[in-house]
A and B are shown apart, each in its own frame.
Chain A
């Protein structure tokens, strides 16, 4: 069943109470339901990410995408904003956590919220979704091929992220990880290292690795799109949300 929905560009409070742009898609025929924060990929707060938010709403979940590049490039086109953010070293982990916390608070305040919120992110957002799960009280966490979770980016790169595998002891919710077998960032070996750390920490997690798929197999506007992996992945996502936040 798909739901009726409404989608709007809104303003929410993010890190340091900064007002940032966000895209909210909500089902209009659900009395009480769960919700999800959608963390956009490195190419930005773009059309594809907004389409993902509407898909969640069509399946009964309120979805909110904070524009992580709003501070660096308010009102810019997604590609210009992404280029600006990249040139400035990307989004800091502290900002990410503040913006996701703001998005969670907004979702929890919606009239039809059941108080349960998940997060999902793609590409760089996959790492950020897992990080949010380690630092914020989420009810479900989905990591779609997040790189640099168990290894640091090379030191000379301007993007100053660090691996976050050391934080999984604090993971607040079940984790769903969706990966491509042909991806190298993250590689299947790196995902195994993450699985070992989660097992050692006694955390609940499900990993799916799809043959014939590499990085960004969900991105249906890019050559990396793999229809079978994406369709199977979406099934896993909705089964997971039914279990964790519905």
Chain B
């Protein structure tokens, strides 16, 4: 089936794409047919920078279990970080 279920959000960060490291501005999360992972459906994540063109994209295709485990580990990791480090960012202009 095609669920067409798609969530989009703005993000701040970088990702390594086919063209090298790039700043990223957007993400898309959906459950649909993967291109490469060997399953009919998967949890798909695109991290994008539309201003840099379609190839400014890092893609993940994960089994539902893997995606859920990854999401939990991300949250646990962030929860364990001292709060002062969470604002420890450098803005390059």
Contact = CB atoms under 8 A, between A and B. Distances in A.
A87 B48 contact: yes
Interface residues of A, number: 32
Contacts, number: 77
Given A80-B57, A86-B6, A184-B1, A216 B48 contact: no
Q: Is the interface of B mostly helix, strand, loop or mixed?
A: loop
Interface stretch (B25-33, B68-76, B80-88): B25-33
A86 B54 CA distance: 11
A153 B2 CA distance: 10
Given A79-B59, A80-B54, A86-B28, A153 B8 contact: no
> Does more than half of chain A's interface fall in helix, strand or loop, or is it mixed?
loop
Which of B1, B39, B46 has most A Cβ within 10 Å? B1
A23 interface: no
Interface of B: 1-6, 8, 26, 28, 30, 32-33, 35, 38-40, 46, 48, 50, 53-55, 57, 59
Closest 8 CB pairs of A and B: A185-B1, A76-B54, A73-B54, A80-B54, A84-B54, A215-B1, A83-B46, A79-B35
